[in-house]
Amino acid sequence: MISFVKAHACGNDFLILEEEAAKRQHSALARKLCSRNTSIGADGIEFLERRPNGEFFLRLFNADGSEAELSGNGTRCVAAWLASSEGLDEVTLGTHGGPRHCRVVEDADPIYLIESEMGIPRVMERKIVVAGVGEVSGAMVNVGNPHFVLFVETEDFSAHGLSWQALGAQISTSPLFPHGTNVEFVKVLSNDEIAFRIFERGCGPTTSSGTGTCASSSAAMALRGVNRKLKAVAEGGAQRTVWPANDQVMHLTGPAEIICRGEAVGL
């Protein structure tokens, strides 16, 4: 049996497992445990490694078994769990996308409001050619992991005659991105607010994404001139981003909720 914790951030849900329980079977465990019909169900697993020097390191595996650099929401879920289980109001979590410092802003256990340092976004306008669609304008954004951001005006976030889910699937797995990419469809509502949808590499449409929030926000700030303090609304709810001028570190604030603890059997 393997002990797990389940948590979510705006509906983007994760399992948290201790690294020592993985026994080098990260991909297989992710595929099995994240299945929503035959197992616990989640968008991915955060494997938490406790290092001898007292530091923490996370490895994120998506529901399809692929490994990603990091998840903003997953990192926040782990920070919430460490606050709940060990009383840590601040913690730095290492990831393959760089360290992420998290601070508890509000504690209403099992729900936490957490501010995370998300690194310095890199935004570059780019046109790509998608098979069967043609030229698509957007922005390549890196916030520790890769994103392609499209700006839309439609109510349903569709673009180029396709639903955002269909176009997102094509872009995410395009040969233009050998390692895949996350895709966001962004609608600017005002200088203070955007709405967006996410097709996440490795698990498909999700209700929210921490790095997707940062990618969408930074693209809107850099290319659409919106304010550097922004409300970003996804299907699962709102998060807030702050990106000071002069390309400083972006901060992301949003909720995380501990759902349950349990043991997975039959592994």
Q: Is 176 exposed, middle or buried (0-12, 13-18, 19+ CB in 10 A)?
A: middle
Chain Cα centroid distance, residue 74: 7
φ, ψ for residue 167 (rounded to 5)? -70, -35
What does the DSSP 8-state code read for residue 212?
A: H
Which CATH superfamily hosts domain 2-116+255-264? Diaminopimelate Epimerase; Chain A, domain 1 (3.10.310.10)
Position 188 scores a pLDDT of 98
Question: What is the distance between the terminal CA atoms of the chain, rounded to a whole angstrom?
Answer: 7
Torsion of CA 52, 56, 59, 62, to 10 degrees: 140
Q: Specify the amino acid at residue 183.
A: V
Among residues 253, 261, 244, 252, the alpha carbon closest in space to that of 214 is found at 252
122-248 has which CATH code?
Answer: 3.10.310.10
Total number of residues shown for the chain = 267
Q: Cβ(71)–Cβ(46) under 8 Å?
A: yes
SS3 113: strand
What does the DSSP 8-state code read for residue 20?
A: G
Other CB atoms within 10 A of residue 81 CB:
23
What does the DSSP 8-state code read for residue 95?
A: -
Q: Cβ(121)–Cβ(143) under 8 Å?
A: yes
Helix axes 72-86, 210-224, angle to 10 degrees: 130
Please state the pTM of the whole predicted model.
Answer: 0.96
What does the DSSP 8-state code read for residue 24?
A: T
The tens place of each residue's pLDDT in the chain, 267 residues long, gives: 899 999 999 999 999 999 998 888 999 999 999 999 999 999 999 999 999 999 999 999 999 999 999 999 999 999 999 999 999 999 999 999 999 999 999 999 999 999 999 999 999 999 999 999 999 999 999 999 999 999 999 999 999 999 999 999 999 999 999 999 999 999 999 999 999 999 999 999 999 999 999 999 999 999 999 999 999 999 999 999 999 988 799 999 999 999 999 999 877
Position 1 scores a pLDDT of 87
Domain boundaries, the chain: 2-116+255-264, 122-248
Among residues 163, 167, 147, the alpha carbon closest in space to that of 155 is found at 163
Position 267 scores a pLDDT of 75
